Structure 1
Amino acid sequence: MLEVSELTKSYHKVRGVKDLSFQVESGTAFGFLGPNGAGKTTTIRLLMGFMKPDLGSARIWGLDCWQDRAELKRIISYLPGELHFMEQFTGQEFLDLIEGMHGAHETIRKNQIDLLRILELDPSQGIRKMSKGMKQKLGIIAALMLDSPVLILDEPTSGLDPLMRKTFIELILEEKKRGKTIFMSSHHFSEIERTCERVGIIRDGELLAIQDIALLKQKERQTFDIEVGGEEDAEFLRQSGLTLYPLDHHKFTIQVEGEQELLWKTLAQIQVKRFQQGSLELEEAFMHYYHSSLRGDGT
């Protein structure tokens, strides 16, 4: 569905992106993670055909994102990271304009009405008077109402409150059920974790890794909360070489990176009263992965 091959773009003295290569399968969601300035928005602008790459290519549905950019607009719904509206319009006038540009289909109007209700937006208000969160809702509605098979979303929940972020996640999960292909950059790790099967990690314009989210969480740092039977067991645990964080008396948090053989050998030799594996948040896994790469521990 979406294929990027050795994609490169430079801006004079400012780094863009270099040698990006990845694929997004049809009907799946792909998350793009990285700090500000890492190259996420540049990648999206190249996918949208807003810029010509210096080297490499990007293709969606077999169409070249630069050479076939006009045709691609018929199959892509796009939500930019920085929204700019015609401030003199009301929300409804803006949505009507977008609808008219795409043929004013009955399906689009029905989707629009449903999305206005779900996101609790009054479209009669002037855009100039809307808050950032309201404008973000308007942008989401304009993108999703078109029912395009491909969604490209740049920081889609910026400015939304936690309740509306939850609602947005539910909308994206529904889009996936309908077979949509989604490319989404975000700073909110929870929404990537809940909506995407795979994630790309980008730093300074270069792709560090492509990982299945489940594998990324498994592969990196894991934590375990444990309570042992007594002081003798606690001392054995302290001398084991495991990374321990004391909690209270004979209670510890154990942190394990990579192989867990030492953990299980140690536990087999002591009395364990309570043992619970902690759930690793995607954010923690990403930050560990990111900083390990900065230190040169791996990619």
Structure 2
Amino acid sequence: MNMIDIQHLTKDYGQGKGVFDVTLSIKKGEVYGYLGPNGAGKSTTMRHLMGFSKPQKGSVYIQEMDCWSEQKKIQRHVGYLPGEISFPDDMTGLAYLKLIAKMRKMNDFSYAEKLFSFFEIDPNTGMKRMSKGMKQKIGIIAAFMHDPDILLLDEPTSGLDPLMQNRFIELVEQEKMNGKTIILSSHIFDEVEKTCDRIGMIRNGKLIQEVTVDELRHSQFKTYKIELLDTLSFEKLKQAYPNAEHKEKHKQMIISINDSEINHLLSVLSTCHVAFLKEEKHTLEEYFMKFYGGDKND
């Protein structure tokens, strides 16, 4: 059974804003990364999953329940962290979380207390005096503290320092081990690569590409950094790959090829004096920029 099932979701706000014919599904225990520029439709998708917005076309289901007509029932099983959070200034972090716990009819607050320690936060601080990072931690705790089966996390590490970003990654990995289903939108590529099983890329409201992290890691497109021992070898390799990036001073070349071309590269290298050969791993950021880089609207 798919925990999240979106079919042909369309919500047109005009002037190209919204989501258009988005179809995706997420299985139990899967962490799904949702990537795209600001305004691409990530938050709009999340709001439909929470039942805050009604689709113009298509359907949105969580655990086979309609997100619009059964939103109250669904929200008991979901932890949601919105991209922009408004907190009451006249409350402490603890008072705010206790209020949320009461509204959810939670009987056990112990997980929230563990998360205070995990994120190194004093919840008795007034919300008005909290930094953006501290408020973000409160938002994360609010999403996780009732131990939901499904987590919808919109830019979850916004405002967190690198140490706390790593803590968040640890938390997601732990929840994944516990069988939670998570959809996570983020601009931090390292975070997505470390936590997600699959990645969906959305642009101008349309889902344009889906890729598994394993596919990304074992991409047929490879890049090699090569350093030659002498000028003659360098010139020979440069002649074979004239469009490759090169650093003549250091006799280095960076060659990108498909797997099917590797025998030709090895054949050329066998006639050269090679100092070292290293495969450069392609990152999610490079993959992402293939779809988004250079567009005037990005």
Question: Is TM > 0.5 for Structure 1 vs Structure 2?
Answer: yes
Instruction: Describe how 1:49-60 pairs up with structure 2 within 5 A.
Output: 49-60=51-62
SS in 1 for 2:240: coil
- Native 8 Å contact 2:225 2:254 kept in 1: yes
Change (3 A) 1:85 1:64: same
Structure 1 residue runs without a partner (length 5+):
none
**Post-superposition offset of 1:220:** 7.1
Aligned to 1:65: 67
Structure 2 residue runs without a partner (length 5+):
none
1:280 aligned partner, one-letter code? H
**Post-superposition offset of 1:166:** 0.6
2:120 aligned partner, one-letter code? E
SS in 2 for 1:260: helix
SS in 2 for 1:219: coil
* Distance in 2, Cα, partners of 1:265 & 1:63: 58
SS in 2 for 1:200: strand
Aligned to 1:163: 163
* Residue deviations 1:114-151 (CA, integer Å, cap 9, x gap): 10001011111111111111100000011111100000
- Native 8 Å contact 1:133 1:161 kept in 2: yes
* Distance in 1, Cα, partners of 2:43 & 2:63: 21
- Native 8 Å contact 2:16 2:204 kept in 1: no
* Distance in 1, Cα, partners of 2:24 & 2:130: 38
SS in 1 for 2:193: helix
Change (3 A) 1:43 1:257: farther
- Native 8 Å contact 1:247 1:253 kept in 2: no
Alignment of 1:191 with 2:195, yes or no, is: no
- Native 8 Å contact 2:222 2:258 kept in 1: yes
**Percent pairwise identity:** 41
Aligned to 1:224: 224
Alignment of 1:20 with 2:22, yes or no, is: yes
* Residue deviations 1:26-55 (CA, integer Å, cap 9, x gap): 101000001101111111111111100110
Instruction: Describe how 1:125-136 pairs up with structure 2 within 5 A.
Output: 125-136=125-136
2:123 aligned partner, one-letter code? P
* Residue deviations 1:257-283 (CA, integer Å, cap 9, x gap): 675344334334433231111122211
Aligned to 1:180: 180
Change (3 A) 1:189 1:247: farther
SS in 2 for 1:114: helix
- Native 8 Å contact 2:8 2:58 kept in 1: yes
Moved more, 272-281 or 42-51: 272-281
1:253 aligned partner, one-letter code? I
Number of residue pairs aligned between Structure 1 and Structure 2: 292
SS in 1 for 2:237: helix
RMSD of the TM alignment (CA)? 1.9
* Distance in 1, Cα, partners of 2:84 & 2:208: 25
1:84 aligned residue (83, 86, 98): 86
